[in-house]
Structure 1
Amino acid sequence: MTVSSMTGFARTDGAADGFGWTWELRSVNGKGLDVRVRLNGGFERLEAKVRDAVSQRFKRGNMGVTLNVVRSADTGAYSVNRELLAELVSIAEEFDNTSSLSSGTIADLLNVRGVLEAVETQEDEATRDARDDAVLASLADAIEQMADHRAEEGQKLDAMLRGHVDNIEETVTRAENCASARGDAIKERLKRQIEELMDAGKFDPERLHQEAALLATKADIREEIDRLKAHISAARDMLTKGGAIGRKLDFLCQEFNREANTLCSKANDIELTNCGMELKVIIDQLREQVQNVE
């Protein structure tokens, strides 16, 4: 499976039994799957099936599904309100005898509202079901088209996400190799600080030993480095597996950020501080792109 974006568009057309229709699907980012359906032409009965078809194919995204139906003019019959037409004819003849104005023709009178009305033709259930099946088949084509579009956008996302993960790994390696992060450097710095304190006054050796151990623990970033490396490996595994991984990647970004914050708090020189700050910037860029992933 590949990484899929939540952004996409699809359009399909179809026709059967004097009906023509167009499906349009539009998808943007969303925390979950939110499907908005608009059906016209008497096809509102298909809404439940439309929602089910979309939810089976997609897991996240705000998706608008629109069906526009056009019925051919020759698919229905017309009825004439003869009583109303006769009354209009009588009025027209009366005015024709008393006025110099033209009374018009029968064609003009047929355009009067209520004289000529379209009559819906009755159809059997089998005909209607067959047309519904044709409409839903067009929807299936639109859904696949949407999936292809989202997958195409997902390929671009995948490249950007992997690039950000590579940058995170490079920055973590720099932080790990900082001189101030090495164990011997931490030991030497604490030894020097203790000697300065001993020269300044009297201290309880036991208490001083405890404080030194605590300071050494706080200055050691190896645990944060190890966790960051584990998160990098997890991110790459997710991208390789693909599918609906957006929520998992978003949670992983939070874990990345937590370790970066701890790294900054433990930084004791400008080089390590810069690594921590740069790491936070890259993680923000990663998380911004993750919001587009299904």
Structure 2
Amino acid sequence: MTGFGKAVGENDLVILTVEIKSVNSRFLDSSFKLPREYNQFEADLRDLISQSIQRGRVDVYVNRQPKKDADLYVYFNRKAFDAYWEIYGNLADELSCDGRTVMLCDVLGRREVLTATEIPGDPESEKGILMSTVSEALDKLTVMRAREGLKLSKDLIKRFEALSGHSEKIAELTNDVTFALKDKLLQRLTKLSLAADPEPGRLEQELAFVVDKLDITEELVRLRSHIQELNATIKASPGGRKLEFLTQECLRELNTIGSKAQNAKVQSIVVDAKCVLEKIREQVQNIE
């Protein structure tokens, strides 16, 4: 599910701004954009997120702003300076121009001559404020995801009802399909104009065998059971994995019904039910 959370935290050393956003994904995939001082805490942050989120693409952004100027170490490379200065001086004499001030600024601007390095502080002293700020942003993200989950649950319940309606339509046609199939088989046997009458009861036995082979009663019972379980799961404690499994089982039963049913109306309803089920399947992949 999608969501966004932002939090700002501070202590005596830094001000931290944390933004977390999530989008739909079947699995949990977390990515971090952290200040280099906090790279060592990525594993801890990943564990913290996994405690609240099981599915989704989660992006975490952390901005660090020190409250005081950082201590710097400045290194001056005298050999590099002398080499550059000699070259600049020779060119100035050759071209009969005097630009000592410009030359000095240019030479000192060379990275090889003058470098400034920030003296690192102790990241451990900032870990507490980092974790608490991320937790706060994560809580806000979770609230937003919960609101979306509620809307998603209501939509899924409507789709479950539509799927149940299709199964009931198939059930209503089942008896008619059975009788129609029996009449169709009798008509074919009549056209064969058998020379000898079959054994008493043999014709009924063969008809019963064929009709039983094409009967979809068991599949309908299982389909109804799966739909009831879908409703019970979404209303109790939605579990994405369980819902996904149940949708697969519903599809299995619909495929069997479609292949067994020797009736255009039933097959048309099966197609409609599969369309509803496909939308359900796409939605449940976003539920944790």
Q: Could you state the TM-score of these two structures normalised by the residue count of structure 1?
A: 0.78
Do the aligned partners of residues 162 and 100 (structure 1) sit closer, same or farther apart at CA in structure 2, a change above 3 Å counting?
same
Matches within 5 A, 1:152-191: 152-178=147-173, 181-182=174-175, 186-187=178-179, 190=182
**Which residue of 2 is the match for residue 44 of structure 1?**
39
Summarize deviations over 1:49-68 as a string: whole Å, max 9, x none.
11110111111223232323
Matches within 5 A, 1:60-71: 60-71=55-66
- What SS class does the counterpart of residue 283 from structure 2 fall into? helix
The separation in 1 between residues aligned to 2:125 and 2:220, in whole angstroms, is: 62
Query: In structure 2, what residue type is equivalent to 1:194?
Result: L
2:244 is equivalent to residue 247 of structure 1: no
Do the aligned partners of residues 220 and 103 (structure 1) sit closer, same or farther apart at CA in structure 2, a change above 3 Å counting?
same
Do the aligned partners of residues 31 and 225 (structure 1) sit closer, same or farther apart at CA in structure 2, a change above 3 Å counting?
same
**Which residue of 2 is the match for residue 139 of structure 1?**
134
Extract unaligned runs of 5+ from structure 2.
Answer: none
- What SS class does the counterpart of residue 42 from structure 1 fall into? helix
**Which residue of 1 is the match for residue 259 of structure 2?**
265
The separation in 1 between residues aligned to 2:30 and 2:140, in whole angstroms, is: 17
- What SS class does the counterpart of residue 101 from structure 2 fall into? coil
The separation in 2 between residues aligned to 1:213 and 1:157, in whole angstroms, is: 46
2:11 is equivalent to residue 19 of structure 1: no
Query: In structure 1, what residue type is equivalent to 2:271?
Result: M
CA RMSD after TM alignment: 3.6
Instruction: Report % sequence identity.
Output: 29
1:76 CA drift (Å): 2.0
Moved more, 260-269 or 185-194: 185-194
The separation in 1 between residues aligned to 2:77 and 2:32, in whole angstroms, is: 42
8 Å contact kept, 1:18–1:75: no
The separation in 2 between residues aligned to 1:17 and 1:77, in whole angstroms, is: 19
Query: Of the two structures, which has the highest relative contact order with CA contacts closer than 8 Å and spacing of 6 or more?
Result: 1
Do the aligned partners of residues 15 and 189 (structure 1) sit closer, same or farther apart at CA in structure 2, a change above 3 Å counting?
closer
The separation in 2 between residues aligned to 1:160 and 1:10, in whole angstroms, is: 24
Matches within 5 A, 1:1-294: 5=1, 7-71=2-66, 74-77=69-72, 79=74, 81=76, 101-104=98-101, 108=105, 113=111, 118=116, 120-121=118-119, 128-178=123-173, 181-182=174-175, 186-187=178-179, 190=182, 193-194=185-186, 197=189, 200-201=193-194, 202-205=197-200, 207-243=202-238, 245-294=239-288
The separation in 1 between residues aligned to 2:9 and 2:80, in whole angstroms, is: 39
8 Å contact kept, 1:25–1:64: yes
